[in-house]
Structure 1
């Protein structure tokens, strides 16, 4: 059974399971239905996130171990809170080989290891390549001189690797040549790696969870918790990396029949989950795009596009995305291309590899799911043929093979890799190179679509209620590029594009940055996340510049350019232009309105809403690791207590108004779930009707929010705009205000706050 809602908590060595147990009473008071945690299993030494699991058979010692887990479970259970756990079936951490007993065994014994088939290794390609050696342009040859024997290990500085039995003798080089692995230059990971990894991260090795033995070994402990009633839901990380996501989910559902299961699946606009997947839905990026887009004014598109064109040149995001996908294939994922091309023995490598690369870059979605996702594959094939007619015969052969063997090795490799290309090319490159309006540059978003019209939003919400009522919805996650409140404030720029253009012109005159793309991104970052300290701003801008890969990159850093970025950030913060303060002052109040509006809409809409840790108050975080900073829960406890004492806060910098909205809707979802069924759009009538978004769930519950608040104020406010309701007596669950009549003045409904949650009296 799905929870009424979830509250995401990022566990780490600095916030353990014991800390979670201590937080449980606050989360229960907030109204959360379940706690939703980052992974609990043993991760790599020093891990701050838990996605680099090294031992799936035990709880992370850094989080407190099994005793702490039991204590947290008992505490949650006593307070009526469920537990949803993030699980990572696609990969395991291998950065510290000795910490992962399965990987250690594979390195020592090769394919003969009991775990030799657990990892997705191409043993036919020769010894396992481990890309850890330094490379000064010599292919890592000089670094081999730094290898040492240390007991029964081969050592390279702090790294330790096991020796196969009976391989000592004849010097370090000879011993190294006898192993089932080869230590090679870190640069060779791009072109020659022979194990599947998570995206381009060589320290995360793909696991063959499609094999029943591997599934049971990696899930035994998790399933024990589910069977004991200690875990009620599972969030499946990165299913697109699996050989057979549908088969995996069917096996998981059979093993955990009562669990709520959602998948971290990025859906393109109009795309749905495969019908054969026995999942309850996604982790909510599709809802994030729809809800946040509702508060973006499409009228701002021409001016912001013109500004970006003056600064950065033509703004063709589709062409940019295609170029960026090609870039990451060439510079980061060519090893995957080569592995796929080897499955086409009828064509030479110089033709098979370009054809595979072009096909991977042409997918309109993250991956197809053959045979039911054949339409997406056919679209990619058509685009690839059009771009490279000289490769048509290779592409035709690929199409024929996939038609005859939709579950064969070629199909599996292509599908596993297309998502990597999309994620690295679009999410992690193009979205940092397209600074026209970065509020749209979000995971699951589409920067080419400038906002979401109310009609589109209502249609999507109704479809969610009809088809996926138990799917998760989200506004902020640990993977979002910007928090919901940063996006809400930036959305105001679509209503004030000329004001933003003035800031950019003035700011660039006083503080020029030697990269126009990063410069336009930086001024939006300052406006959206202000106030921000130097360390946070520098960290973000360096990461953004490296992801964009224009002047610097993770694998080819430019120290001089990065130094200029650091100097720029500190100079701007030391002497910010007056236009920045003026713009922030102007956009902050309407940004608060947008934040409250999108929060109410998310929490009251169909689906299971998730609240990201700390986001019940204003949170102006940027991409990770910024969004994993410690949360001041003591402050949130104190403010919630004041609210429960009858305080109705102003909409101000404290963020208490957002806490009021969050707690009241979550509590109502928990205590009266019958009110959150069905979905019907409600249309306002009058001169400001376009600024109201409203809908009914059960006929006894109506949510009302303000959109485009700058335009609303510019037009004279609500005036005589009205809203017709399915009842005549209503109480606002946020303020306690009673409203009478079937037709209400919107100005009265939204007199105190820019949002209202109306509950109909029982007798009406």
Structure 2
């Protein structure tokens, strides 16, 4: 396993050569491996790479095979690993011709050599392609010349024509094809191929078939075998028919690679023990680390604020409604396909029962026969909510349990993860906006923070059970960056002040939708200073994701115009902007303290820490695509050079203090891995002991950080608080100062609110 990873977002303007250009910087920073977004060929112009079109070659737009090999060689020379993100669940079909397998399926139908590569319900006849503006637009089709013969055209879109079906009008040609072009609105209800969530441009791949696995993974596994790739990050395993079987096959093909999965764990949930993986991508650690810096005493204040503003405060109710929206309006085709597999039940009752069970899942999915407790709980909850459907639940439960490897059990488990993710993360988190710092992937917004004892229990378990799991604070999928979250967490210490400010600001320039209004003010404070354009783009996405007043497909144009105008109105209101800025100044220092604290806890704690691109300095990004903006490495190189030369920067707007913490922690992990073993909670003594979070790794490394800094300040500071340590000579790696074996907190934290202590033999 790597000592740490550094995540980079590859894209056409930052490809393999550009990544090679920062290898020396990453080595000097202390990173153990470069962790890259998907590198296989993708939809032309893709800025993220998750829309793979050809898994058999390195993406030409990133530089192609030669540039990939050059990057691998440079990383090897620098002593860094290379971790690659892979996407086994789906491929992009947005541009059919860019995906030769999909093009062949459309051209030859069930006779295509790739007909079974995609999860298509061939029993329903032609492949439904919801790409037209409306069904009547079939009249606008044309026949165009293509490089391999005639093609059907619809504006810029091109589709193949099956051999022997030429002749006549475009509409007559279309009627003879193995696919049917229809209005885009029919996709949610009638689609007959499995997709990624509700994205019809991403067609699911049947990777459970050995021949499909071999074709889709052969190239990446060759890189692993050649030693060019040292680790794999698996995207969305919950969408697979048999995640355990897939991961066992992947492990057999990459026996020496570090292997982590994007498995989002609910509190109390563990990775299935049969999976041969090193761990998850770290959202569980993110939830715990964020939680321990929040003040649970603020919960009633934020609940009252949300309620008086008109925001729903019952999380379970909001979540249930959002998930039902997904089953009833978005994933309708998937629900119908599953219900059709449930025999002996009226179709309407079967559909209702299938939907209700998926709505009720306590985790993303079960993996029968593993995870039976989650299945049991989902069925029990569904029975309680809809007792009139008892016969349908009985039949569904019996058939799923009787054939846990059958198609019914497989599909309902695959789809439950889609319902949970789409309903909770992509809808509820934009509706239940009571305290946005907790609305994070893998988060539990109804649990207001995490106590120190609970944090230690979970960290101890991670050290014992999954010491090689990834930990993270920011990813390309997080709803906001770690520093934005850290400042928002500080609001829990000034809850009454913030509530008063929101009332004042809303009265002056509120948004006419309560959940978005409360989220907007939190976002403005958390990401300040922010340009009107960035804030406008964020609020547009948030409004559509919430699906309360407008959506991505059914627009309330007047409301969207009002939301789009809001950032300029607020930031252009000098008095209001000054008020917001003054409030930000009130919590900025606490935000910086939280940022440094949570970062050091992550970097030095159990697991393999990942640093998301650019976050070695302050980064107040929001959800994608805002968090995928270009990173200025020239600034970071200059600050790192000063830090390596011995500078101990102050805590200010430059973020240099954070880079110091990242550099010293990563370098120590890389150079002295023997220090980072085990986990032992430490407890401070004195008047402010609750504000000091500390733990020991092995017997020679201690991490100590400040929590709830505003409350600490109000209570009179550290006063007599001390941190008892093992006997010996301890040195703070961040400052180079020697400390005793019972340092006073006031002295320990007089320069930085965090300390990384190493004990050396005398």
TM-score by length of 1: 0.98
**Could you tell me how far 1:347 is from its partner in structure 2?**
2.1
Match of 1:730 in 2: 730
SS of equivalent residue, structure 2 residue 106: helix
Is contact 1:326–1:357 with CA below 8 Å preserved after alignment?
Answer: yes
Partner of 1:651: 651
SS of equivalent residue, structure 2 residue 460: helix
Partner of 1:491: 489
Residue 259 of structure 1: aligned partner: 257
After TM superposition, the structure 1 = structure 2 runs for residues 51-90 of structure 1, keeping only pairs within 5 Å, are: 51-90=50-89
- In the TM superposition, 1:513-552 aligns within 5 A as 513-552=511-550
In structure 2, C-alpha distance between the alignment counterparts of 1:255 and 1:313, rounded to whole Å: 50
Give 1:13's aligned residue: 12
Contact 2:311/2:515 (<8 A) preserved: no
Look up the match of 1:590.
Answer: 590
Give secondary structure in 2 for the equivalent of 1:543. helix
How far 1:46 moved relative to its partner?
1.3
Q: Which residue of 2 aligns with 1:46?
A: 45
1:192 aligned partner? 190
| 1:147 matches 2:141 | yes
> For the Cα contact (< 8 Å) 1:473–1:609, is it kept in 2?
yes
Q: How does 1:225-624 map to 2 (within 5 A)?
A: 225-575=223-573, 577=576, 578-624=578-624
Aligned equivalents of 1:314 and 1:192: distance in 2?
33
C-alpha separation between the residues in 1 aligned to 2:697 and 2:231? 25
Distance (Å, rounded) in 1 between the aligned partners of 2:438 and 2:722: 31
> What CA distance in whole angstroms lies between the structure 2 residues aligned with 1:348 and 1:157?
43
Q: How far does residue 255 in structure 1 lie from its aligned partner after superposition?
A: 0.7
In the alignment, the residues of structure 2 paired with residue 127 and residue 722 of structure 1 have an alpha-carbon distance, to the nearest angstrom, of: 72
SS in 2 for 1:685: coil
2:716 paired residue number: 716
- Using the TM superposition, name which of 40-49 and 570-579 deviates more: 570-579
Equivalent residue number for residue 745 of structure 1: 744
**CA distances 1:485-515 after superposition (whole Å, capped 9, x unpaired):** 0010001110001111122112112212111
Checking the alignment, whether the CA contact within 8 Å between 2:311 and 2:514 is kept in structure 1 is no
Alignment partners' CA distance in 1, 2:760 and 2:353: 65
Offset at residue 333 of structure 1 (A): 0.3
The CA deviation at 1:468 is 0.3
Counterpart-to-counterpart distance in 2, 1:314 and 1:260: 43
The equivalent of 2:32 in structure 1 is: 33
Given that residues 334 and 415 in structure 2 are in contact (C-alpha distance below 8 angstroms), is that contact kept between their aligned partners in structure 1?
A: yes
Question: Cα distance, 1:579 vs. partner?
Answer: 2.6
CA drift at 1:345: 3.6
CA offset at residue 402 of structure 1?
1.2
Residue 314 of structure 1 and its aligned partner are, at CA, apart by 4.1
Q: Which residue of 1 aligns with 2:129?
A: 130
Q: Is the 8 A contact 2:342 2:399 kept in 1?
A: no
2 CA distance for matches of 1:390 and 1:184? Answer: 37
Give deviations 1:509-538, integer Å, cap 9, x for gaps: 221211111110000000000000011000
1:224 is aligned to 2:222: yes
Q: Is the 8 A contact 2:311 2:432 kept in 1?
A: no
1:439–1:491: 8 Å Cα contact kept in structure 2? yes
State which drifts further: 536-545 or 640-649: 640-649
3-state SS of paired residue (1:596)? helix
SS of structure 1 residue aligned to 2:321: helix
Instruction: For 1:392 and 1:109, locate their aligned partners in 2 and report how far apart those are by CA, in whole Å.
Output: 44
Distance (whole Å) between structure 2 residues aligned to residue 484 and residue 552 of structure 1: 28
Q: Which moved more, 1:720-729 or 1:434-443?
A: 720-729
Q: Provide, for residues 91-123 of structure 1, a one-character-per-residue CA deviation record: whole Å limited to 9, x for no partner.
A: 000000000000000000011101000000000
Q: Deviations over 1:744-764 (max 9, x none)?
A: 21111111100000000222x
Cα gap change, 1:314 to 1:116, in 2 (>3 Å): closer
Tell me the distance in 2 between the aligned counterparts of 1:568 and 1:746. Answer: 45
1: CA distance between counterparts of 2:515 and 2:289? Answer: 27
Distance 1:413 1:93 in 2: 21
Residue 582 of structure 1, CA deviation: 1.5
Report the secondary structure of 1:356's partner residue: helix
**RMSD (Å), alpha carbons:** 0.8
The answer on whether the counterparts of 1:502 and 1:579 sit within 8 Å (CA) in structure 2 is no
1:620-635 map, 5 Å: 620-635=620-635
**How far off is 1:244 after superposition?**
0.2
* Equivalent residue, structure 2, for 1:757: 756
Q: Secondary structure at 1:616's aligned position in 2?
A: coil
Tell whether the 8 Å contact from 1:465 to 1:607 is kept in structure 2 after alignment: yes
Q: Distance in 1 between matches of 2:472 and 2:746?
A: 29
2:686 matched to which residue of 1?
686
| 8 Å CA contact 2:294, 2:448 repeated in 1 | yes
- Residue 351 of structure 1 deviates from its aligned partner by 1.5
What residue is the counterpart of 1:103 in the other structure? 102
Q: Secondary structure at the match of 1:743?
A: coil
Contact 1:506–1:579 at 8 Å: present in 2 too? Answer: no
TM-fit CA distance, 1:587:
0.4
Shift of 1:645: 1.3
Q: Displacement of 1:313 after TM fit?
A: 4.4
In the TM superposition, what is the alpha-carbon distance from 1:727 to its structure 2 partner? 2.3
Q: How big is the shift at 1:542?
A: 0.4
Q: How far does residue 169 in structure 1 lie from its aligned partner after superposition?
A: 2.0
Distance 2:761 2:95 in 1: 61
Whole-Å separation in 1 of the counterparts to 2:124 and 2:571: 53
Distance, in Å, in 2 between the alignment partners of 1:6 and 1:761 is 27
Secondary structure of 2:327's match?
Answer: helix
Name stretches of at least 5 consecutive residues in structure 2 with no aligned partner.
none
Measure how far apart 1:295 and its partner are. Answer: 0.4
Q: Please give the alpha-carbon distance, in whole angstroms, between the structure 2 residues aligned to 1:653 and 1:76.
A: 32
TM-score by length of 2: 0.99
Q: Secondary structure at the match of 1:736?
A: coil
Does the 8 A contact of 2:617 with 2:658 survive in 1? yes
Unaligned runs of 5+ in 1: none
CA distance in 2, matches of 1:212, 1:144: 38
- Report if the CA contact (8 A) 1:104-1:162 is conserved: yes
